[in-house]
Amino acid sequence: MSQDPDTAVRYDVNGDVAVLTIDFPPVNALGAAMKEGMVRRMQQASDDPAVKAIVVIGDNDRFVAGADIREFGKPPRGPTLLEVQDRLEFSDKPVVCAI
């Protein structure tokens, strides 16, 4: 099952906080769509002048379960995990992961 990166990580703003919700069923695995969605949403939050901080949460009572086993044995696609981590770690705005 493939999912659109734009739905794998949702973007909402509450006051001056961007809320990035990982919604990549069934377990919010680190699949290509989820990683691409996270990169896009981090960029969106970075570009939004109204946003002062970013919170990352997981939907479906899960944060991130780990590697996406549906992609095992296939060529890598999308951003690497390191690229996603760099976006979170080196953001120009504070990032909190609510696990």
Give percent above pLDDT 90 in the chain: 83
**What percent of the chain stands above pLDDT 70?**
98
**pTM for this prediction:** 0.91
CA atoms within 13 A on the CB side of 35: 19
Provide the pLDDT for residue 2.
55
Residue ranges of the domains in the chain? 5-97
Residue 56 has pLDDT above 80, yes or no: yes
Measure CA 42 to chain center.
Answer: 7
Q: What's the rounded Cα separation, in Å, for the pair 34 and 4?
A: 8
Candidate from 12-21, 46-55, 63-72 with smallest mean pLDDT:
63-72
pLDDT tens digits for 14-41? 999 999 999 998 999 999 999 999 999 9
35 token code pair? 């990683």
pLDDT-derived band at 1, boundaries 50, 70, 90: very low
CA atoms within 13 A on the CB side of 58: 18
**Arithmetic mean of pLDDT, 42-55:** 98
Give residue for tokens 């995990």: 81
Judged against a pLDDT cut of 80, whether residue 13 lies above it is answered with: yes
Fold of 5-97: 2-enoyl-CoA Hydratase; Chain A, domain 1 (3.90.226)
